[in-house]
Amino acid sequence: MEQELISKKELLELTGISYGQLYRWKRKKLIPEEWFIRKSTFTGQETFFPREKILARIEKIKELKDERSLDELAAMFAPDPATVVMTKEEIVKRHIVSDVVLQLLNDELSDRNDVSFVQLLALYLVDRLLLSGEISMEEGKTIWKMFESHYPKLQGKSCELIVLRKMGVATCFLAEGAVNLYIEEGAKLAVRLHVPACIEELKLKLSEG
């Protein structure tokens, strides 16, 4: 499943932003360096972007740029999560995740009342996927354990959460960077989430609190 790309020319036309804005946002780290992909074409070297990610990012920047400074947006979009510790009660009170997912993962959280940002991110991802019906309760527990175990190795890097399902059995993993997936026959791609985008959503929720 090769990711769809969009050329710089088409991007500027589609979004209505200027060349200068695009590169200013890049300099301010609102758009990751690795999204600028140089490719040879019949007209020479051209710049392309991962279509879905860049369009979503520009839409979010346009939506928020009048309310927040570029530095504030850069902090929100930064892949390195801020040091955040919240109590379970505060998480539910502020509607960061539902009490259902906290109850589901209560055994995994054991008797800890304080929840770190990485744990909160894992809760947020599981909650989102459960509410959308993309995963089952048991799959949610598996994703939680895998994410808490492996995400710290990738923290600060671009990665994707991927869930494959075959004959009713799910496998979940984290993939670093933008990867093309070639899946065996009979297997289904159940979930593919761009983790930095979820971090942005979560930081936005936290900043609204």
Please give the model's pTM, rounded to 2 decimal places: 0.66
Domain ranges of the chain: 5-77, 86-208
Read off the pLDDT of residues 17-52 as tens digits, 9 standing for 90 and up.
999 999 999 999 899 888 999 998 887 889 999 998
Q: Which of 116, 169, 168, 178 is nearest to 147 (CA)?
A: 116
Read off the pLDDT of residues 81-122 as tens digits, 9 standing for 90 and up.
556 778 878 887 888 888 888 887 777 776 667 888 888 899
**What is the CB neighbour count within 10 angstroms for residue 170?**
17
- Rounded CA gap, 68 and 79, in Å? 18
**DSSP secondary-structure letter at 83?**
-
- Rounded CA gap, 103 and 17, in Å? 45
187 and 205 Cβ atoms separated by less than 8 Å: no
What is the third-level CATH fold of 5-77?
Multidrug-efflux Transporter Regulator; Chain: A; Domain 2 (1.10.1660)
